[in-house]
Amino acid sequence: MDYTYGQSYDYPLRILVPSDSVGAIIGKQGSTVKQIKQTTHAKVDVSKNESTNTQERVIVIRGQQENCIQACREVLRIMYEDAQNKNKANEIVLKVLAHNNFIGRIIGKGGNIINSIKKETDTKF
């Protein structure tokens, strides 16, 4: 599959994850991220750690919309399992990076869309 940026089927999803979760997401010799790519048919790129002080890392997921959603769910599942193993499963922090052009659409008039998402998913924003 070709995941060239800008194609009609290419949905870039950018998320920030805690740096201490990245090892679990990548896996030994990249095995876990490779499995995510194979099972979801999405392209998953984990940014390199440019600084030792970085507390978060960017993960870019590209592909068809449903594949991106599935890959993001897998990342969340892995983060949850990793947090449980570290006895830190109280709250999983994942930040979605949205382009400025989409913020109004995400929030909605009077916050109706974002509030609906919060209610349906039982998440904090």
pLDDT of residue 103: 86
Cα separation, 71 vs 33, whole angstroms: 9
Ranges in the chain, pLDDT < 50: 1-4, 6
Q: Torsion angle, CA of 100/105/106/109, rounded to 10 degrees?
A: 120
Domain assignments of the chain as residue spans, ordered by start: 13-93
Beta carbons of 83 and 92 less than 8 angstroms apart: yes
CATH code of the domain made up of 13-93: 3.30.1370.10
What pLDDT, on the 0 to 100 scale, is given for residue 9? 59
pTM of the entire structure?
0.80
> Distance between CA atoms of 103 and 45, rounded to whole angstroms?
24
Mark residue 121 as left, alpha or beta (left: phi above 0; alpha: psi -120 to 50; beta: remaining): alpha
For residue 61, which phi and psi values (nearest 5 degrees)? Answer: -115, 130
From the number of C-beta atoms within 10 Å of its C-beta (0-12, 13-18, 19+), residue 63 rates as buried
